[in-house]
Structure 1
């Protein structure tokens, strides 16, 4: 399985957001971080791949167009917005998501798969609680469970850690990385925390100025030059006491205007 994006353009009404996007094919088992400043087009890109925004260009999965696939083969998309607080039990919402795709499976198989996802995410204690009794972070975890239980070949996760504390941020990204590697899936994760992206992602797509600034292995892409162009900061990449790379930002550039610049990687 591979994901290919060629000459992709997308926007809102008459306002283009991204144009001429060409990504090198992404291999199975890859966790890809989509990063960039606010307004760079991270959410827009994921929505267009999910088929929620009109776009032009080619988006191919396994050599076939991604658009128009049956629900069972559609991408699993987690939006920024949290699941709405309702009187439904958390388990009921995840069961409905699973049954919508795997409705032909016997109920014991469905229930076993749901339990596996709840256990892996560490949220079994939330299963019988109503959504309107859960915090924003807890509802975000339920939303992720709704995506993972479908076992999609392509996961599109828009800021999946935004409402979570440090423990759950690490737990979610570890889980997503494990799922992509064990099942041979591809996950695209829009994320603001570049140090989390650097730690967990195999590859980064850096968006800036309406296009792709850089693509490549996470530890190669985040150079001072890329950080300066994409974010308008003077920054450096150093290693912590455990040898892991981390970005340290020293200052913000005055009167910064993001531009696409020259692609790197």
Structure 2
């Protein structure tokens, strides 16, 4: 479990995360949603220890990170429990895909990389559906392929908690589903605490066990998508009018209405084909 106790984060002299207090259970996917520039990535980076806490405390199991505790040794020890995949997936390095994935074991590697580690890396690439790219230079891959390779690297770290910032942003629909299915499978199997930032609200509602709605640095709502997602919540958070429907599994399905307000009856008739 990750416990956030009244955490606040300042950037540029302003409070961008304010008194967030919640628990994130192990074996579940926790998805952070909210408008651009309102603290989603900041929250993820704060959990990782990449941004110092102004106030509050974060705990992962028996480990804790508190405001004012920013020494290099303390941060290094804290981060050992995490695998963090930032949104920027550029990889301008002269390494093959297999070598990049093997680096996920950094800190556990000897001078000689044994067959067990190589086999583990190939297994992770196979899970991500890109084992055929193992010998390619990472810099030669498309954005989506790099995203999958970096996720395979995350899996190599065998963390207690997995932090993913927009992991499907460069992927087409098929590969978005493939990656998120794999995230869910590994989260359940390993009992990880998985925290993901997503912009796609419908993917968030489909995959989140627990949804965190963040706006203006404040946690507006938290809970199962089915319990908390309403037209009024989404409308107030994003400033748009929506309908909330449900898919065949019962997950909320968010349909924006803004377009319809600009289409007259005669224009609707003209659109019928």
> Normalising by the residue count of structure 1, what TM-score does the alignment of the two structures yield?
0.88
Distance 1:236 1:53 in 2: 37
Deviation at 1:223, TM superposition (A): 1.0
Aligned pairs for 1:23-102 (under 5 A) are: 23=22, 25-55=23-53, 56-66=55-65, 68-70=75-77, 73-98=80-105, 100-102=106-108
Distance 2:116 2:133 in 1: 20
Distance 1:210 1:132 in 2: 35
Which residue of structure 2 aligns with residue 139 of structure 1?
Answer: 146
Task: Give CA deviations for 1:58-101 in whole Å, capped at 9, x if unaligned.
Answer: 10011430453537833111011113233210111111222x14
Distance 1:240 1:212 in 2: 26
Q: Unaligned 5+ residue runs, structure 1?
A: 253-265
Which residue of structure 2 aligns with residue 250 of structure 1?
Answer: 257
Q: Is the contact made by 1:72 and 1:101 (CA closer than 8 Å) also made in structure 2?
A: no
Task: Give CA deviations for 1:21-46 in whole Å, capped at 9, x if unaligned.
Answer: 111x2221010100000011111111
Q: Unaligned 5+ residue runs, structure 2?
A: 66-73, 260-273
Count of residue correspondences: 250
Aligned pairs for 1:167-206 (under 5 A) are: 167-206=174-213
Which residue of structure 1 aligns with residue 231 of structure 2?
Answer: 224
Say which is worse superposed, 59-68 or 221-230, in terms of deviation: 59-68
Which residue of structure 1 aligns with residue 264 of structure 2?
Answer: none
Distance 1:241 1:93 in 2: 39
Distance 1:199 1:154 in 2: 21
Deviation at 1:190, TM superposition (A): 0.3
Root-mean-square deviation over aligned CA pairs:
2.0
SS at match of 1:172: helix
Distance 2:37 2:219 in 1: 13
> Normalising by the residue count of structure 2, what TM-score does the alignment of the two structures yield?
0.86
Distance 1:36 1:107 in 2: 44
Distance 1:68 1:78 in 2: 17
Deviation at 1:169, TM superposition (A): 0.5
Task: Give CA deviations for 1:83-134 in whole Å, capped at 9, x if unaligned.
Answer: 3233210111111222x14326971221222122111111101111001211
Distance 1:92 1:72 in 2: 22
Sort the Cα spacing of 1:75 and 1:241 in 2 relative to 1 into closer, same or farther, 3 A. closer
